């Protein structure tokens, strides 16, 4: 009963949000009952989680009657959210026809606001990135960021058919927690940068779009991208580190991305560390890409080379190798620290770096973990994430889809 009540509360919040916005404008919105009922969300979530399945299998797993599942399937197919998969032939009887999410069923926009760049992408219902635009800057300021969002949306939407525009369900925005406090770390002018504190994201977007806006912490967004589209089936409880210009993280408990009371759960970048002189530091001070940038600047190199796409750091191995070693030592200590609070079965590591760097970093963390003091703890598995540098923007774009069409897994899917 409690889970159902929580879901109804979430749905009511979404109804209020959607009634307050215009949901058309720069792109329309999903008009076919954008807020799905519980059973529809349950089946959509099961298909998102497990891939195409036959109705009889979903009925057995969820406890719904086959007739109920069939009725919901017909409705979701008529509304364009589901499509029929390839028939699966068994030994006897008619072939089974699985139902699966239709990639065109829902589209969403996701903006990542980073310390050095912003990315805007168009995501479909199955997690595929349809199109993407990016911009770089010395540091993010509100006027420039929202101007990029406006022009970027126009570019991404102009090639969509009228039908596809009607399938846009919202804009997700991923930004660092209390962004206005980061001016010292990125060299931004204090007063201009602190203007972020008074920015109302939804109000800014409303000046050029009627789509609903969903704001999420950038590291939590990356964690959600991994949970929805990455190694989602392998671990039920894990900590997630994402290393960008600064390190952040996320927490998955009972197969659910846990956001916390203030939406700041998994603020792993704030874990305590100790400097070379015994001074108190945070993980962001000792395990972030901005430290590698500083190495390059000191060597007279342009640090922007780290962010060129596609990323290739092979020519920078002289500077990257020691950075990996130092970062791995800190992540090994941080991994045990988080396991002292929650008995995580795994720690996943991803970031805005090439896949080869991620592989080497994970291997180093595994080696360093062996030599750590693990008294009273069960050392977690150290595993690589699988989404990569785009995780924050993908996670941002998934927020409108997740909130309006899927179930919180802890509320509805834990038993499945």
The per-residue pLDDT for range 208-247, each reduced to its tens digit, is: 999 999 999 999 999 999 999 997 678 999 999 999 999 9
Q: Given this model, what pLDDT does residue 28 score?
A: 36
Average pLDDT (46-56) is 92
CB 241 within 8 A of CB 249: yes
**Architecture of the domain whose range is 108-221+393-399:** 2-Layer Sandwich (3.30)
Q: Given this model, what pLDDT does residue 260 score?
A: 84
Residues of the chain with CATH 3.30.420.40: 108-221+393-399, 231-386
Highest mean predicted confidence (pLDDT) among 119-123, 182-186, 279-283, 306-310 = 119-123
Task: Report pLDDT digits (tens) over 308-336.
Answer: 888 999 999 999 999 999 999 999 999 99
- The residue with greater pLDDT, 261 or 163, is 163
Handedness of CA 384, 385, 390, 391 (dihedral sign): negative
The yes-or-no verdict on residue 410 having pLDDT over 60 is no
The yes-or-no verdict on residue 350 having pLDDT over 80 is yes
Q: Given this model, what pLDDT does residue 11 score?
A: 34
Q: Given this model, what pLDDT does residue 189 score?
A: 64
317 token code pair:
């191995």
142 token code pair:
């509100």
- The two beta strands, 82-84 and 99-101, are antiparallel
Sheet containing 346-351: order of strands: 256-257, 247-253, 238-243, 346-351, 381-384
Using only C-alpha atoms, what is the Rg of the chain? 22
Please tell me the CATH code under which domain 231-386 is placed: 3.30.420.40
pTM for the model stands at 0.86
Average pLDDT (184-204) is 76
Task: Report pLDDT digits (tens) over 97-108.
Answer: 899 999 999 999
SS3 79: coil
The yes-or-no verdict on residue 184 having pLDDT over 70 is no
The yes-or-no verdict on residue 6 having pLDDT over 70 is no
Task: Report pLDDT digits (tens) over 244-302.
Answer: 999 999 999 988 999 888 878 888 999 998 877 788 899 999 999 999 999 999 999 99
- Report residue 374's pLDDT band, with 50, 70 and 90 as the boundaries: very high
SS3 148: helix
Task: Report pLDDT digits (tens) over 287-299.
Answer: 999 999 999 999 9
Average pLDDT (345-369) is 97
Average pLDDT of the chain? 86
Average pLDDT (29-40) is 59
CA angle 231, 313, 302 (to 5 degrees): 130
- Report residue 172's pLDDT band, with 50, 70 and 90 as the boundaries: very high
- The residue with greater pLDDT, 181 or 33, is 181
198: CB partners within 8 A, 6+ apart = none
335 token code pair:
């991994």
Q: Given this model, what pLDDT does residue 29 score?
A: 37
CB 283 within 8 A of CB 273: yes
The yes-or-no verdict on residue 180 having pLDDT over 70 is no
* Residue 249 CB neighbour total at 10 angstroms: 27
């Amino acid at each position: 009963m409690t889970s159902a009540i929580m879901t109804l509360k979430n749905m009511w919040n979404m109804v209020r949000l959607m009634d307050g916005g215009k949901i058309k404008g720069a792109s329309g919105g999903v008009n076919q009952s954008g807020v799905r009922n519980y059973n529809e969300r349950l089946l959509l979530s099961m298909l998102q989680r497990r891939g195409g399945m036959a109705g009889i299998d979903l009925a057995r797993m969820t406890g719904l009657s086959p007739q109920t599942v069939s009725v919901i399937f017909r409705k979701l197919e008529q509304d364009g959210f589901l499509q029929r998969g390839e028939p699966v032939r068994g030994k006897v009887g008619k072939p089974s026809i699985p139902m699966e999410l239709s990639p065109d069923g829902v589209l969403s926009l996701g903006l990542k606001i980073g310390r050095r760049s912003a990315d805007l992408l168009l995501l479909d219902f199955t997690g595929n990135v349809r199109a993407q635009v990016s911009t770089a800057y010395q540091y993010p300021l509100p006027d420039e960021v929202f101007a990029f969002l406006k022009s970027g949306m126009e570019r991404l939407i102009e090639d969509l058919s009228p039908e596809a525009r009607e399938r846009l369900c919202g804009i997700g925005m991923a930004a660092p927690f209390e962004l206005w406090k980061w001016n010292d770390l990125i060299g931004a002018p204090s007063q201009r940068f602190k203007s972020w504190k008074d920015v109302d994201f939804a109000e800014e977007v409303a000046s050029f779009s009627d789509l609903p806006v969903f704001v999420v912490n950038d590291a939590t967004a990356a964690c959600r991208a991994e949970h929805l589209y990455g190694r989602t089936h392998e671990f039920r409880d894990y900590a997630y580190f994402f290393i960008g210009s600064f390190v952040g993280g996320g927490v998955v408990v009972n197969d659910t991305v846990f956001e916390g009371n203030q939406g700041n759960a998994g603020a792993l970048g704030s874990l305590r560390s100790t400097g070379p002189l015994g001074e108190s530091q945070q993980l962001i001070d000792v395990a972030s890409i901005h430290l590698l940038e500083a190495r390059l600047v000191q060597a007279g190199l342009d640090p922007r080379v780290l962010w060129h796409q596609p990323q290739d750091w092979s020519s920078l191995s002289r500077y990257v190798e020691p950075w990996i070693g130092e970062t791995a030592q800190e992540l090994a200590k941080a991994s045990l620290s988080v396991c002292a609070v929650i008995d995580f079965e795994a720690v996943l590591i991803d970031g805005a770096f090439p896949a080869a760097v991620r592989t080497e970093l994970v291997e180093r963390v595994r080696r360093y973990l062996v030599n750590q003091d693990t008294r009273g703890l069960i050392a977690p598995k150290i595993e690589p994430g699988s989404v990569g540098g785009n995780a924050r923007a993908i996670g941002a774009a998934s927020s409108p889809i997740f909130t309006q069409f899927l179930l919180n897994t802890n509320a509805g899917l834990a038993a499945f």
